[in-house]
A and B are shown apart, each in its own frame.
Chain A
Amino acid sequence: MQREQISALREGALASAGLLVGIVPWGIVAGVAMVSAGLTQTQAVAMSVLVFAGTAQLAVLPLLVAKAPLWVMVATALVVNLRYVIYSAVLAPHFEHLPRLWRVLLSYITVDGVFALFAGSYRPEDGNPHKHWYFLGGSLLMWCAWQLSSWIGIFAGAMIPREWSLEFASTLALIALLIPLLFDRAVVCGALAAGGVALIAAKLPLNLGLLAAIAVGVAVGLAVARLGPRKEEGRV
């Protein structure tokens, strides 16, 4: 490794250090919630290493407790992970010149906070040859923090009595995750519609109610966005 690479790696890690305050509580909650939902400690560690997607992990746990079918849980993980598709499209031009192994590594390790920092600091055409080291530095710090805090939660969770119903913590964590996602009226309307449909359609077999709710929620969101006043386009 050259000097510039090491310094970009360190710069990325330092810039991301502020995100630790946010990621550590999530990791602990996810760890506790995984074992409370019935995963063994080995399974919970495997999930946090192999999946490494906190929102998807937290979203699937209430469904696991409710004994939803496998495909519904995987479909749910897909839907809550769709934001990564946006990130992937934004990051692709930055990393297209890198060897395949690098692109595999950077894909696996992408997280929300580091993506936002990176997209704010670099442009695809800036020609900076070391920016992937910056991305890796921040992402590695997040990866270590996520794994360590998850393991704390996993081992603490195994000692907490079942009567405490700590599996409910994953639902509460989803509430905390949802609030920042409600960034405009269209999302709020879509989410409310999804909640309503999920309630009405709860009796549908195979948890189809959940998927129907997501479809209606997206449709309502799009409709509201189309009908509503166009703030960004109307003004300079």
Chain B
Amino acid sequence: MAGESWFVWALIAGMAAIAFLTRAVFILPGSHLRLPPTAERVLRYAPAAAIMAIIVPDIALVQGALSISIENPRLVGGLVAFALAASTRSVFATIAGGMLALTLVRQFAG
């Protein structure tokens, strides 16, 4: 990872700029703009879409190929986590249950 050190630092710098600018965009100029409802909708829908678009390939693809199988540990772990997150709303239960399912599938199906 040492060779890619500049890459991670550039990522941190870029994210720091984004994190500050999205929060400062109206506060810093002291703007009185009221966001139109459609703009507010876009700003609310985009994060959920982005998070789902990161999760789904991460659990359903194995080395770039679709793997809908009980032998795919990440898929089983992810689905268990979805069920736990929806039913318990507990961060701990979601992560612990998902990691446990991942480990079990690796042990027995792998």
**A107-B51 contact, Cβ under 8 Å, with A50-B16, A81-B18, A172-B99:** no
**A195-B52 contact, Cβ under 8 Å, with A77-B15, A168-B74:** yes
**A92-B26 contact, Cβ under 8 Å, with A168-B99, A195-B53, A195-B55:** yes
A70 at the B interface (CB under 8 A)? yes
Contacts of A100 in B (CB 8 A): 28
B86 at the A interface (CB under 8 A)? yes
A191 at the B interface (CB under 8 A)? yes
* B48/A182 in contact, CB under 8 A: yes
* B12/A178 in contact, CB under 8 A: no
A190 at the B interface (CB under 8 A)? yes
Contacts of A147 in B (CB 8 A): none
Choice from A81, A91, A195, A216 contacting B19 with Cβ under 8 Å? A81
* B52/A107 in contact, CB under 8 A: no
Rounded to whole angstroms, the CA-CA distance of A169 and B49 in the bound complex is: 20
Contacts of A213 in B (CB 8 A): 49-50, 52-53
Choice from B18, B41, B85, B92 contacting A74 with Cβ under 8 Å? B18
| Number of B residues, CB within 8 Å of A | 72
* B54/A107 in contact, CB under 8 A: no
B109 at the A interface (CB under 8 A)? no
| Number of A residues, CB within 8 Å of B | 93
Main secondary structure of the interface of A (DSSP, over half): helix
* A181/B48 in contact, CB under 8 A: yes
A142 at the B interface (CB under 8 A)? no
Contacts of B99 in A (CB 8 A): 164, 166, 168-169, 172
Choice from A40, A85, A172, A217 contacting B26 with Cβ under 8 Å? A85
Rounded to whole angstroms, the CA-CA distance of A106 and B26 in the bound complex is: 12
Choice from A80, A83, A169, A202 contacting B57 with Cβ under 8 Å? A202
**A214-B55 contact, Cβ under 8 Å, with A25-B91, A78-B18:** no
Rounded to whole angstroms, the CA-CA distance of A210 and B61 in the bound complex is: 14
* B19/A210 in contact, CB under 8 A: no
Q: List the interface of chain A (C-beta within 8 A of B).
A: 22, 25-26, 29, 38-40, 43, 46-47, 50-53, 55-57, 59-60, 62-64, 66, 70, 73-74, 76-89, 91-93, 95-96, 100, 103-104, 106-108, 110, 164-166, 168-169, 171-182, 186-187, 190-199, 202-203, 209-210, 213-214, 216-218, 221-222, 225
